[in-house]
Structure 1
Amino acid sequence: MTAFHSIGDLSRSYQLRLGQQGLKARLDRLTQEMMTGDKSDIPKTLGGDLSGISHIESRLKLLTTFQQNASEAQTRLAGMQAALGQIHDVVDDLGPRLLTEPNILDEHDLRARADSINRDFQSMLATLNTTSAGQHLFAGNRTDGPALTGFETILAELNTAVSGATTAAAIANRIDAWFAAPQGAGGFSDTVYRGSDNGSTRFLISPDHRIDSNLSANSVELRDTLKGMAMIAYASEAGPAMDAKTLRDLFSEAGVRLAKATIGLTAARADLGQQQAAVTQAQARNSAETTTLSIARTNMIGADPAETATALEETEAKIQSLYAITVRLSRLSLADYLS
């Protein structure tokens, strides 16, 4: 006689539920591994030793921060370089012209030229108030506001500084002194510059390198540029009240200063260029190290995509088969069972 073994309906239902739960758990695990690319049970994969992977992941997070800092620094430096380029183009052309134009232009044309330079000066002020990513580039480490006050304020301060001077040399010397006055003396740094030069805008761009951005609208390179422009702006605003000889002489005074300022601007742009190169190199090093560490991380805890996909398909097929069996069993009648 052949023995026939059977299990009760409740036992069968319980076993089916266990099978369903096991397959669902496996499906969830494989789906997670497929999405993240990592093994779901990292401690088990590494035999409980997490020191190596912890070091790699900490380093990767640090490198991500360095890359973000480097990207921000590169954006800031590029904005400053572009602004200085615009200013440099104007000054480089204007300096020599101011030394020759007093000898070849009549008074009417010379005054019209002063008016044109005055407009260039106002554009230059706007350029120094430029922003990038919501930060004012030439305001030192106080980046939430403009670097310089408005043109009208500057003009009023110039008039006060020059008051009483009548010759071009005296006017130029007063403007020189006003721009060169140290903080607290009531000059350009106190009345016009609105940034802050206490400290610097610093960016940590790699484990062993940082960028200190110290250039501001209050830096000597830009003050030298602005004072040459300010002399012509003062003459423009004075209009006919300034006689032709003083106007011609002031053009020459401004030309000398702008020719000198060109040298400072060139040096400032070169410094920015070196910083840009340093940031680019740091980004390349950070990227290379990130790639190396990412490969090491994958080798330690990475889930093989092909194996995971195959296992996922097999699990899905088993789940479908189990559901099919469950449906078929649920439809059995007593007659079907006894037949």
Structure 2
Amino acid sequence: MSSFSSIGDLTRPHQLRLGQYTLKAKLNRLTQEVTTGIKSDIAKAVGGDLSEISHIDSRLKILTTLQQNASEAGIRLEAMQLALGQVQSLTDDLGPKLLVEAENLEPSDLILRAQDVEQSLRQVFNALNGNVGGHYVFSGTQNDRAPLGGFETMLSELKIAVAGATTAADITKKIDAWFDAPAGEGGFTDLIYQGADAKGQQVPISSEHHTGSRLTANSPELRDALKGMAIMAYIASAGQTIDATNLRELFTEAGGLLIKATTGLTSARAELGQQQARVTQAQARNAAEVTAFSIARNALIGADPFEAATALKETEASIESLYILTNRLSRLSLTEHLS
């Protein structure tokens, strides 16, 4: 047995390892291209000029953000529509009914009816305090908290505000003033409303458009509905301390306010509908632009799927052949060593 190995014998293991490394690197590259559909060497694919692909990638990132903004805005606007729908379904029927009941029901029945409306006011509170993903849709810019505070607190504050009033006109006037009192004067805005003004709050949803609703639980359209029901809640708490004449007049005042509120709610919902349409249009435009840029991106750096798959199979076959060869050479070397 010879005690020396030729130069070829000494370099053979190195050559095999180098071949294995090269084939594995090629396998990884082709696997990535087959999986992603993108060439692994982007700089080579664009001839070293990365400006166009960088512009496309930057635009696609912006479009992704805009599309997410539009989606979130759409969800928020839909939640607001549903809540206003609940409020309007209560006020549409209630206003005219109160006008009729003011003339036809006995005082004791009017008080019972007022108690029913108080429960409806609780439902309105719950609807306006709804949230989407922890964000309260009627709280304006302060959307991490419910827009309306405690219901019982509002009833207590109303009693304080109305204290001393004896006629239906005075009671209505004081309730109206309490709801409309500017910030800092101890009314609804200070004591019950917990949100913040939403005017000017706009979110970009496409290259050309922004969206944002000014509507909050403190908007006039909603305060009118709350006023009408609040009069009924006051009747429910005051009960028989109100004489029949004033009781009927309060029903009439409440009915009139709720009819007025219906008009305001209809306008508010129409405004939301316009915002929803704008969001839908923006989403369609964004999607079309994403498609166009994606096609352009693929034309620059996309890997041919058939070519990449064929090369991948050939590389796998080469690796398998190399392993077989390595195994055979290892056996020959062992036989030579033992002989």
Under TM normalisation by the shorter chain, which class is it?
Answer: over 0.9
Identity level (%): 59
- Residue 251 (structure 1) aligns with: 251
CA displacement at 1:144 relative to structure 2: 0.8
Kept after mapping to 2: 8 A contact 1:91/1:258: yes
Q: Measure the CA separation in 1 of the matches of 2:299 and 2:263.
A: 54
Q: Deviations over 1:282-301 (max 9, x none)?
A: 00000000001001100100
**Structure 2 residue runs without a partner (length 5+):** 1-5
Q: Which amino acid aligns with 1:94?
A: L
Task: Indicate whether 1:309 and 2:298 are aligned.
Answer: no
1:109, CA displacement in angstroms?
Answer: 2.0
Match of 2:167 in 1: 167
Aligned residue in 2 for 1:218: 218
Once the 2 structures are TM-superposed, how far is the Cα of residue 137 of structure 1 from its aligned partner? Answer: 1.0
Alignment pair present for 1:113 and 2:118: no
Aligned CA distance change for structure 1 residues 285 and 113 (closer, same or farther; 3 Å): same
Cα offset, 1:200, TM superposition:
4.6
Q: Which residue of 1 aligns with 2:43?
A: 43
Say whether 1:85 aligns with 2:85.
yes
Alignment partner, residue 100 of structure 2: 100
Q: How much has 1:199 moved relative to structure 2?
A: 4.7
1:276-332 Cα deviation digits (max 9, x unpaired): 010000000000000010011001001111111111011000000011011011111
Superposed CA RMSD: 1.6
CA distance 1:333–1:66, shift in 2 (3 Å): closer
- State the 1:157 CA deviation: 1.1
Distance 1:130 1:263 in 2: 23
Written as runs of structure 1 = structure 2, the 5 A alignment for 1:41-80 is: 41-80=41-80
- Three-state SS of the structure 2 residue aligned to 1:190 is helix
Change (3 A) 1:228 1:14: same
In the superposition, relative to structure 1, how do residues 152 and 204 fare at CA in structure 2: closer, same or farther (>3 Å)? same
Match of 2:332, SS? Answer: coil
CA distance in 2, matches of 1:155, 1:287: 49
Q: TM-score, normalised by structure 1?
A: 0.95
Going from structure 1 to structure 2, the CA distance change for 1:14 and 1:102 (only over 3 Å counts) comes to same
Q: In the aligned structure 2, how far is the partner of 1:175 from the partner of 1:142?
A: 26
Q: Which amino acid aligns with 2:319?
A: I
- After TM superposition, the structure 1 = structure 2 runs for residues 198-209 of structure 1, keeping only pairs within 5 Å, are 199-209=199-209
Query: 1:3 is matched with which residue?
Result: none
Structure 2 match to 1:23: 23
Are the counterparts in 2 of residues 140 and 200 from structure 1 also a CA contact under 8 Å? Answer: no
The offset of 1:261, in angstroms, is: 0.8
Q: Quick check: 1:118–1:236 contact (8 Å CA) kept in 2?
A: yes
Question: Which stretches of structure 1, 4 residues or more, deviate above 3 A after TM superposition?
Answer: 198-201, 333-337
| Offset, 1:223 | 0.7
- Give the equivalent residue in structure 2 for 1:325: 325
Deviations 1:257-291 (A, max 9, x none): 11111100000000000000100000000000000
Change (3 A) 1:258 1:17: same
Per the alignment, residue 126 of structure 2 pairs with 126
Conserved 8 A contact 1:203-1:210: yes
Q: Name the CA shift for 1:198/1:138 in 2 (closer, same or farther; >3 Å).
A: closer
TM-score for both structures, normalised by structure 2: 0.95
- Per-residue displacement from partner, 1:101-134 (whole Å, max 9, x unpaired)? 1112222222111110010011111111111111
One-letter amino acid of the counterpart of residue 267, structure 2 = A
Cα distance in 2 for partners of 1:9, 1:304 equals: 41
Cα distance, 1:251 vs structure 2: 0.3
Distance 1:245 1:152 in 2: 27
Report what 1:34 is aligned to: 34
Aligned counterparts of 1:151 and 1:228: Cα–Cα separation in 2: 15
Q: How far did residue 150 of structure 1 move?
A: 0.8
Cross-structure match for 2:3: none
**Could you say which residue in structure 2 is the equivalent of 1:277?**
277
* Alignment deviations for residues 160-214 of structure 1 (CA, whole Å, 9 cap, x no partner): 1111111111111111111111111211111111111165543211111101221
- Partner amino acid, structure 2, of 1:300: L
Q: Distance in 2 between matches of 1:126 and 1:61?
A: 38
- Segments of 5+ residues of structure 1 without an aligned counterpart are 1-5
